[in-house]
Amino acid sequence: MQGFEWHVPADQGHWRRLRKSIPDLKDIGVDNIWIPPGCKGMDPCGIGYDIYDLYDLGEFDQKGTIATRWGSKKDLQELVRAAEDVNIGIYWDTVLNQKAGADSTENFMAVRVDPEDRNTELSPPEMIAGWVAFDFPGRGEKYSKMKYHWQHFTGVDWDESKQSYAIYKTSGHNKDWAKDVSDERGNYDYLMFANIDHSHPEVRADIFKWGEWIGTEIPIRGMRIDAAKHYSASFQKDFVAHLRNTVGADYYLVGEYWRGEVNLLLKYLKMMDYEISLFDVPLLGRFAAISRMAGGDLRKIFRGTLVEKMPNHAVTFVGNHDTQIGQSLETVIAPFFKPLAYSLILLRSQGHPCIFYGDLYGIRGGPEPQAGSSCNRKLHILTRARKLFAHGEQRDYFNRRNCIGEYWVMSTVIVTGLIHSTGFVRYGNYQHPFGLACIMSNGGSSYKRMYVGSKHTGELWTDIMEWRCETVVINSCGYGIFPVDAMSVSVWVNSLATGRHDLNRPL
């Protein structure tokens, strides 16, 4: 689960909120929590991507506060211990592309570049005053003696001497944008604030040291690599290798490489020697497009996605803090489609699904706040269904444009359903024998005749989403006829299983 959304209160209490939620999250099947950037930012209310000091986790009086927006270092450590106690891992949001909130300016030579083509220089080298001096006076030399100065950066976007906003590329020996970054805008190395030069040996040494240090301060199990397309892939590869060698070979890493073309994601994974996973941005785009398209073809929902091409490296998701309304990567999925999308990532075997704090608990602010779950308060039901019933092998039958079904069975026989609907079969296992049948429609109401196994003969199956109130009887041949409402999803399981597990109990 992504454990935050953009509008979580800036009350320095979020680490405590998450700690209190740990029992509920364990109950619904959350295995790992991606927490927000916990290093000191330049703004006490900043969400953490305005990174100031990697080594300040809410311990030092810097930038007007000791605690970060999320809480103190002590609160953070207590959260991680509470998660560890119930075997929930913590993934750190790692921001290594930029620094913000410098302590003072320095004069250095730089050239202005075209914001739309950063390879095009618009001026000869000129002296500018950039905010690039990071002395960390509140921390001093505890944990690290490294201080950052102009030579440790490749660019800024503000000249204090002229009070001028532009993208300035640092001039000097071996100073240039990294070449192994996204080719958007010519070269998308520069994103914001003071852009770190990852080729500088002092920078490399300090970041590698920090990668080891953070794991000693808090026992995290992995990292999200922020803005992966904006800095050197070769540096990231070396950083990941360093973590594997020093922290552990099973350290989980997922990159935020925000491109909608799956071939670019595959190229990046190859450059990284397939040592990390990526968020499946193309799949999110498919969800958004089909949700807004009348009669969109559900059979093609996974075409051109990372989970289709390389499922073991795909982190599937339905939304995150950047895709919220009003944010930089705003991606609108029609409300009716959110439960369908979550069913497709949670109730299938491919990919590593990630649910969103804002979809589970609601959005607290912004243009369109919502008090509760964006899935009509049903997301926790789907996560419990994944934990309890979504096990075993799977076989797909996507053969109807607007109605696809999923059926998960404890059986060794696969039988195709009626021609008017599509679906896929997945088998249960010894520990989870009940199975489930899921059917969804982005058009009119429909049904599917599904084979769920002769050993289920005579069982009564009910919709755990409670959007269909009837009971389906499994016939003597192991079939049931499972209905679904228009623009909806229904998840059917043995009624004895629903009574045993109380899937609808609230968080």
Residue spans of the domains in the chain: they are 14-96+202-219+281-386, 99-200, 389-501
Q: How far is CA 325 from the centre of its chain?
A: 16
Q: What mean pLDDT value characterizes the chain?
A: 91
Domain 99-200 belongs to what topology? Elongation Factor Tu (Ef-tu); domain 3 (2.40.30)
Query: What does the pLDDT read at residue 421?
Result: 36
Q: Each residue of 5-35: pLDDT tens digit?
A: 999 999 999 999 999 999 999 999 999 999 9
Type and span of the H or E element at 424: strand 423-427
pLDDT (tens digit per residue) in 195-222: 999 999 999 999 999 999 999 999 999 9
Please give the pLDDT value at position 424. 58
CA distances from 464 to 205, 382, 434 (A): 53, 9, 13
The predicted structure's pLDDT at residue 402 = 62
Higher pLDDT: 154 or 415? It is 154
Say whether 463 is catalytic. no
What do you get for the CA distance between the two ends of the chain, in Å? 15
Residue 403: pLDDT band by 50, 70, 90 thresholds? low
pLDDT on residue 392: 77
Dist. CA 309–CA 276, nearest whole Å: 15
Q: Is the pLDDT of residue 414 over 50?
A: no
DSSP assigned state of 384: H
Summarised one tens digit per residue, pLDDT across range 325-357 is 999 999 999 999 999 999 999 999 999 999 999
pLDDT score for 423: 56
pLDDT score for 123: 96
pLDDT at position 410 over 50: no
Span 169-182, average pLDDT? 96
Q: Is 56 helix (H, G, I), strand (E, B) or coil?
A: coil
- Residue 2: pLDDT above 90? yes
- Please report which helix (H) or strand (E) contains residue 353, including its range: strand 352-354
- The answer to whether the pTM exceeds 0.85 is yes
pLDDT above 70 coverage of the chain, percent: 92
Mean pLDDT score, 113-140: 97
pLDDT digits (tens, 9 = 90+) for 276-315: 999 999 999 999 999 998 778 888 899 999 999 999 999 9
Residue 319 has pLDDT above 80, yes or no: yes
Q: What is the pLDDT of residue 418?
A: 34
Residue 256 a catalytic site member: yes
389-501: CATH homologous superfamily? Golgi alpha-mannosidase II (2.60.40.1180)
Give the model's confidence band at 103: pLDDT under 50 very low, under 70 low, under 90 confident, else very high. Answer: very high
Higher pLDDT, 173 or 255: 255
Choose the catalytic residue: 53, 56, 256, 459: 256
Residue 411 confidence (pLDDT):
37
Buried b (16+ CB within 10 A) or exposed e, 331-346: bebbeebbbbbbbbbb
Mean pLDDT value of segment 171-182: 96
Going by pLDDT thresholds of 50, 70 and 90, the confidence category of residue 500 is low
Asked whether the beta carbons of 169 and 186 are under 8 A apart, the reply is no
Residue 183: pLDDT over 60: yes
**Residue the block writes with tokens 């906003």:** 165
Amino acid 417: pLDDT:
34
Q: How confident is the model at residue 448 (pLDDT cuts 50, 70, 90)?
A: confident
Identify which of 431, 436, 484 has the alpha carbon closest to the alpha carbon of residue 459. 436
Average pLDDT of the segment spanning 142-169 = 98
CA dist., res. 67 & res. 78, Å (int): 14
Looking at residue 426, what is its pLDDT?
Answer: 59
Please identify which residue in the block is written with the tokens 């990046």.
268
> What are the Cα distances from residue 188, in Å, to 182, 184, 382, 430?
5, 6, 38, 50
Residue type, 449: R
Q: Is the pLDDT of residue 58 over 90?
A: yes
Give the pLDDT score at 415.
33
> Can you name the CATH fold of 14-96+202-219+281-386?
TIM Barrel (3.20.20)
Which candidate in 159, 226, 308, 359 is catalytic? 226
